Each structure stands twice: as structure tokens, then as C-alpha cells.
Structure 1
Amino acid sequence: MKKNNTSLTAIGLYNQKVHEYLQNTTLDSITQLTIKLFKDNAQRNKLNDAQYNKAVEEFNTQHGYLLLKKGKEYEKAISKHYNYINYPFLDRSAMKSTMDNYRQYVHTYNQQAIEYNKAIAEYNKTVISPNTPTLAQQVADFTKKHRSEFATIYNKGVAKFNAQKNANYIAKKRKPTIKYTTELLFNVLVGFYIAQLKQRNSYLLEINRPTSVLKNALPKLTIDHRKLATHTIAEIPRLAICKKTAQNHIKRLREANILINYTYTNQYKPIMVNFHPEILTILDGNPPKPKRIENQFFKQENWKELPDNNDTTRTFLLKEKEIKDCVHNTEFQKEEFICPADGFYKNTTVISKKTTTRPRQTFKAVKALLPDFLKQEK
């Protein structure tokens, strides 16, 4: 018995018919001999599987389903669902697919909202005014307490309140439809999510952490309403709305379950949400390969001091090194240094011909500087 994760191939389905036919058929000696001759001829002619299966079909057409085909009868069923996403990201095609899914979802939602609002309109025709101050106060308190709730939740509370009072004192809310302007804001949100995913993946790779994530627990989108309202592209406002309008759009998307898993901390911090899984097209890729060594930037603290291979203790190399060092150390004196070999050896390189000389002194001038006992001529 095969497991549920396998399925029959075309050959498997054909061979299943053969097994069913043979269970209800008794083969006589002539039929058995015919089958043996067929197999011997196939082996003699060295038929491959495709040729053999074609011959089997022709044989079975004449004699019934007597021969089995060769080949793979079962194959593993490929599951389209998996638990992990190795490297979550979105490219242009994924963003286009997400926007197409959004439009289709919004179209269906708006059609349902229209039908829902028709029923709400009929219900509200039965609403009456409270006939006592106490009842009027109770209606006012209920409305003030629950007015910020979504239409579906609010209307359930209204139905429960009216049922307790045996009359319809509170009207139900209409479910708002999603307008086209909200689509522009949703497009900006997807762009924000792409950038946030890229930043997340880069940070995890930098600290040598895996980028994988559960498919049903994708990273949340962080939304700052003020930044969303003032978002610009090339210094041109993308939405040109105020913060309150941005909040209203987000609330409509949440009410339509386009944005789910809402997290609110306080008024000074951004909110966090997930996209509806039927709308967001998330891709699974492989992390980028590390850069080649020559293309990487190294920090100074990672440098390693290596020994100078030019230093040596061998005698003749030391002498050669001393000569080279002597030449290098006297380069700054080129303007004043006179090579001793200049003028004596033809193959000697002249370092400089510029010299400084003292003025020649006459013999009398030199004699005048001598002591008196040296001036006496013998």
C-alpha cells in the first residue's frame, strides 16, 4: 500500500487496468505461449522502454490487457506548502503580483460590503428613539464606548444591546468600502516592506545569523503614520496627505483584513502589521554569496602584522643591503655629493656634477697665516 504522499503515473494507471483485467481472466496455454513469444522477441530486438510500451499497447489492443508496461508507476506528490522561507524578499514581479491580488481582494470585499450595507439599511429603518432619560443615557454611553470599533464588531454589540431592551434603539454601522486612493497608500506600504526586508536580511547576514523565517510568521511591517503621510520620491510627495488621513486609510485596510495582526504600543511608537497571506506574494531566495577577498574592505583592527621577509642574517645579503641602504640614505645629498669615481671610471654613474669649491688662496696669503718660526726659509 503506497503512502498518501505518492500518486500513480500514466504507466501506473495503465498497469492498474492490467491487474484488474488479469484478476478476472484465466489464461490458457495458447495465450501464455503468445505472451512468452512477445517477450522473447522484445528482448531479442533490444527494445527500449518507450518502444516496448508502444508494442504492449498494440498487443493488448488485440488480446486484452495481458501485458504490463515498463517504467515508473508511482511518483512523489510535490507539496506546494512548506514551513520555512530561507531568504524572504520581493522583486518587481512579486510587487506587481501583490498589487494584482490586492485589487482582486478589494473588488470582492467591496461587493460583499455593498450587499452587507443593504441589510444594514433595512435594519436601521426599525430603529426608534429612547423613551426615557435613563435609556437615552445608556444608548449614549454605548455609542461613546464602542464608536471606534469596526462595523462588524460594533454591529454585533448593537444587536445584543437592542435584544436586551426588546427594541432597536441603536442603529448599526455601515461597512465602508475601499476607495482607489487607498490603493496608492497600499502601494507605498509594499515599497516600505521591501526596504525593511532588505535591511533585515542584510543585518542578519552581517551578524552571521540565518535569514530563514516561518511562512506563517513573516516579519511585520512597521508603519509610522507621519512618515507615511510625508513620504516622497525624488523630493516629490507621493501621497500628500496628513497624518490623520493616513491613519484612516490604515484603519480601512485593517477592517477589510488586508492588514492583519495589528500591534499597538503607544502613540509615540509606530504600529506593526502583517499583510494578508492571500495578497502578499513573498519570494524565497538564496542569501547572496560572500564577496571575493580582493573586493572586501578590511578594518584596521583585522590587519595582521607579517614579518619582513627582506630581513636576513646571511652575510653577503647583509652587505648588499648595507650598500643599498647607503645609497638610499644619501639621496637627499645629491646636490652636494661628488662621486669619488667621477672622472676616473668610464662605467661609473655620475650622481651629480654640481659642486661647491672654496676660492683658491695664494702661497703668500697662506704663508702669512703661519707662525713666525715657520715663516723663516731655510
Structure 2
Amino acid sequence: MSTRRRIGGALAATGLALLAVTTPVASAQTGDPARGLYSVEGASTPDKRTEVARTGVDVAGSRGGALTIVATPGQAAALRANGFGLKSLGDFDSMLKQRSGRAGTAAVAGDFPPGDEAYHTYAETTAELQKAAKDHSDIATLSSVGKSYEGRELNLLKISDNAGTDENEPEVLFTCNQHAREHLTTEMCLRIVQRFTSGYASDPAIKKMVDEHEIYVIPNVNPDGSEYDITGGEYQGWRKTRKPVPGSSAVGTDPNRNWDYKWNCCGGSSNSPSAEDYHGPSAFSESETKAVAAFIDSRVVGGAQQIKTHIDFHTFSELVLWPYGYTKAETDTGLNEEEAKRFADVGKQMAGTNGYTPEQSSDLYVTDGDINDWAWGKHKILSYTFEMYPKDGGIDGFYPPASVIPEQTARNDKAVDILINEAKA
């Protein structure tokens, strides 16, 4: 661990108070800030929450059915016109600067803001993966599923007792950081890597899981976006990819609305390139989703998909979610009652270990073109989304202090074990 990272961790360990509400910089037309953070009143049902999401707002989090959103003046006005009450929590961009600049800019170019240096940049994440593969070459191999739009490798670490051999063992996949600003998820994937490599020689339970499975970890699905999010040592609040949208001045697509199962089918994503949940001009328009999907497709061996279980980590709201997201029905094409029950049973079992709330994805609000629906709909992979810490919050929901990394990643150890062992079921 570098001296800089130790200092950063020590600073982060002091913790951060939740930011006070800031005074918005108002729009001349509406009185709303350019990007306001709001709590939405009157969105207590899945239908109402879906109605909110369909306006193209940035749904930041949910607790007990209440939504926290980031909205432009036009979006805020549309919600009010449709009968939703908005409680202002502050000017989102001002809060970002306040969250980033409490001690000036980052000490090292391209790093996280001061106090958050314990989070891993893309380069640092890659170095950790290289070290794991070198130090544990008997059980870990590092490769790539492809490149991002800006040319970064989409790193893939495989962990198994014969990692260099494609054995006839059930496979498990963990993906992190589809959404750029959700940096805690990269730390979650690194926790899995560290635990299953370093613990192999000393922990019999870990050894058994590694010996009997092939475990794949992709810590940065959206590395271009995550690097952009810390531009200049300040948080940008960025969610999407960085590929310009053809025919538009907008940049970026929501990668978790870009998968081609039920893509743009059901009002669960936006047609507007400026929206945070824009689904892209076509399914798999993004280099990143296309590459990860091609890897998963490649694990069909002898006509059978080898990847049996999967978690895609996100933040925040402390939820365990399962398919389908595109429909409120518990069963639909390719998902019968027995399969839906298995999803719920395993989801509730995992949630019982980490204190998250388990529910079908569409119980929150309808989404389409997401990775879980695709993984199940195309490959019958038991695929979940974990929305990690915190349960709710404002700007700190996206950017919790680095001091929470050890506790909040270890919090999912037992759930990860359940998911791995379920691959043999």
C-alpha cells in the first residue's frame, strides 16, 4: 500500500457528516437549480415511481418507496405539473463541489478528492488485479473481455484451482461499476478478488469454493465514465458511458439500459440522449456492454451456458433485486413460477445476511434493457443486482467516505458465498 493511500485512508477514517442543504443557484424561469437534488413526494407505488423515472430524471436512490432524484428545471416542472411534490435537498452541482473540495483538489493528478484516496482509480484497480494474478498465479489469471470506447481494457480476473484451464465446473460472474459514479462497487469486486485469492491457502471454505467453481470478476464495466467522474480531483456526478451520441450534442448512454433483451420495450428507459437513463441509439451500441455480453455468450460450451449465477453491484439503497425489471408481473416469457420462486428464495437468503431489502426489480420501478433481464432472458443465469450502502442519502449516497469501504464490502461476504454455492444447484 502506498504512503499516499495510507494517508488517504487515515483522512477518510475521520468520516464525513452528511452535507447540509445548499442554497440552489436558481433557473431564471423556474427557480430550480440547473441540477437539483429532490425528494419526491407522492411516489409510493411502483406505478408512480415508474412515472417519475420515465421523465428522464436521474433516480439517485430509494427507501421505503420514496425516491431521491436529480432533476433539471424542466423535469422538476413536469413532475410538479403531474401532481408530484418535490422537496429540495439542494443544488446538485454545488453539493458536488462541496463534497469534492473540502480540502482543495486531489494531491495527485487523476486521483480521487482528498480524503477519498483509498478508493481505487482505474490504473490502481488494474495494478491490484495484476498483483493478484502474479502473487497467486496458481489460482488466478488476468485477461480482458475487450476495450472501452476510449480504449481501456475491460479487465477480467478468473479465480479457480486450475485457472489456466477451462474445466467442467459451474461458473460465477461478478460485475461492478456499470454506472460511473458508483465507485464503492469497484471496491466490492476488489474485495472478492482479495478474499478468494489471499484466503485460498488458509480458509477451507474459500478453498472449496475456488476448487469447485470458476469465478470471474470484472471490476470496471464502465472505466471511461468512472475516470471522467473524478476529473480534476473533483466529483462530476457522472453516470453514463463517454461515447458521444450520434446526431446529438449529448455524451453517454446508460449502460444498464443498453442490453438487448427487451431493449427500449416498456417505458423503462429514456429516448432522450440527455437523460441519465438514455438507452442508446441501439441495443449494444456501447463498446462496454457489447464486450461483456460477448464474453458471457462465449461461456456457452457444448450448447450449455457455464455461468450459472451473477451479481451486478450498484449503489445505493441497500437492495437485492432480481428479474424481471421490464414487467411488473412475477412471471412472464421464460420465467415460470418455480423459477420466480427460486429467484425470490435465494434473494431473500442473501438479503438475510447483509440486511438489504429483497424485491423484484420492477417493484422499485420498471426498467428495460438491463443486464439482469438479459442474463436470465437469454442465458437462464440466476442474475441479481445489489444496490449497496447507504440505505438513503443525498450526495453522500453516491460518494460515501472511503472509511466505509472495508465494512461495507465485507458486509456482502456471506451473500457472495451463497451466490457461488447456488451455482451448483
Higher alpha-carbon Rg: 1
- Give the structure-2-normalised TM-score: 0.18
Higher RCO (C-alpha 8 Å, min separation 6) = 2
Tell me which protein shows more strand as a share of its residues.
Answer: 2
